[in-house]
Structure 1
């Protein structure tokens, strides 16, 4: 499932390419035909990501709420304005297990820059923050998704697979496949949906967000490993960030939330603020600190070098050498070090 940084990156993509433009909407699959008919012809006004959900406002007080869930994906095609902070030089976006195909770049010879770092899935994760660039691409933004064949420059792009919703401008298309939620909402319903979500470091008042998180954790007897995955407690944290944040604080994942010292709860929040910002900037869930330049490049090139414990079951802890444990909690895999997190 996409974690919070991926959804914020998707929202930025919509902000650059759809906000301020009239939408053409359709449901090739047919399951969202009525909703698409309502959206068709409306101007996109603004977009907001909160945790793992995206909200797109259109004129007439109509909001589109999308939750990708485990299998959802957005595919973009056409003439796309891409901010280097949310897309690789080769046109790919998001995490290392996402796929995309460049069909043409309007930047010199279209090759990645000399200092590009391509990870094991072909993503340049170190694009610097700077002015947006215009590029002709076909990209996919999601997690746990398979690649699509090069579809060339045909316009509009052919429909591939079960597309729940297609949004188009004159030059850009976005296809939504397999979401957990794709619904239209009134402004009141949108606000009610957001109200059910825990604080997101990139949305709202930073001080209030921190206090909401601390209060929610400190009053519950639930294990901290479960609380960090509870989107009503904190928005955007998934399996990877959960495991890594607990390790970084040396916190036993089974500790009840109300027994976690307040300073440690606050440290968890500060860590999430920092890691989310890194994820949005690089497109990678980079969770290791104090790396040399060579180590950092290796970590960006291979996910196995960018995490402390996640996906390292049976391997020695990078700190103490103890075998990393794997167990199931809340129907999700949990990786942790029994010694560093005793």
Structure 2
């Protein structure tokens, strides 16, 4: 599933290309036809992301909400666009730009009214990519929980936008076992974790790639997959740790794959 930096990158792109102008919205697939008709021909005032959620705010007060889920993708195409290929849920064309975009396979693509947008944002936690994030409230809630910190970092009601890669890597970078309960995370621990996320995630927005390995460790073993940046632990189970050479461990925690170094991140 795309992590928060991907949605913020898409929001920034759509803000640059489409905001302030009339957009044509359609649903070639048909599943979003009613919603598309509500915003077609309106001015897109603003595009933004909150965690893993993309919001297109229109002049009428309506908002198109997109959650990509596991399989959703946006394709950015220069005009003129060819006939839709595959199951295009939403096609958006800008009247004042040379670009269009096709959305395929999202978990959610829907039109929301202002109270619904407020309710959506209210149930999301602190987003490290937003200046209005309340990380102290998130930290307080974490320190009251006995759930493992590895699970808490993935709870979108606490921290919005962090996914499996950032979860695994930031815990490694701070030597914190993913199994430590939230009650054992000090205020200093949380401030350091948060500051690291605030520093790392904008790099993903700017480059479209996660860069989590410090320069002094960014050599030796290749990435876990072609065209992917190197990681410390993510998807490196059984491989030697880049710092201490201990084999990276793997388990499943609350339904998600978990990766960590037993030596660098002792329980």
Residue 202 of structure 1, CA deviation: 2.6
Measured in 1, the distance between the counterparts of 2:49 and 2:178 equals 28
Higher RCO, Cα 8 Å, sep 6+: 1
Unaligned runs of 5+ residues in structure 2 are none
The RMSD of aligned alpha carbons is 2.0
2:213 counterpart of 1:272:
no
Counterpart in 2 of 1:26? 26
Matching residue within 191, 202, 207 for 2:129: 202
Aligned partner of 1:74 in structure 2 is 74
Indicate the residue corresponding to 1:326 in structure 2: 250
Partner of 1:4: 4
Cα deviation code 1:145-181 (max 9, x no counterpart): xxxxxxxxxx232201101111112332111111111
TM-score scaled to structure 1, two decimals?
A: 0.73
Match of residue 239 from structure 2: 315
- Residue of 119, 123, 135 corresponding to 1:192: 119
Q: Aligned partners of 1:312 and 1:6: how far apart in 2?
A: 22
Deviation at 1:205, TM superposition (A): 3.0
Partner Cα separation in structure 1 for residue 62 and residue 154 of structure 2: 30
CA distance in 2, matches of 1:185, 1:168: 20
Q: 1:244-280 CA deviation, whole Å, 9 max, x = no partner? A: 0111111111111112122111111111101111111
- 1:49 matched to which residue of 2? 49
TM-superposed deviation, 1:305: 5.7
Deviation at 1:284, TM superposition (A): 1.2
Rounded to whole Å, the distance in 2 between the matches of 1:176 and 1:321 is: 42
SS at match of 1:17: helix
For normalisation by structure 2, the TM-score amounts to: 0.93
Structure-2 separation of matches of 1:304 and 1:177: 23
Q: Deviations over 1:302-334 (max 9, x none)?
A: 666621111111011111111100111121111
1:243: Cα distance to partner?
0.5
1:144 matched to which residue of 2? Answer: none
Structure 1 partner of 2:175: 250
- Find the aligned partners of 2:157 and 2:30 in 1 and give their Cα distance: 32
- Structure 1 segments unaligned to the other structure (5+ residues): 80-154
Whether the aligned pair in 2 keeps the contact of 1:213 and 1:269 (CA below 8 Å) is no
Q: Distance in 2 between matches of 1:2 and 1:223?
A: 23
Q: What CA deviation, in whole Å up to 9, does each residue of 1:42-97 have, x standing for no partner?
A: 11000111111111101110001100000000111115xxxxxxxxxxxxxxxxxx
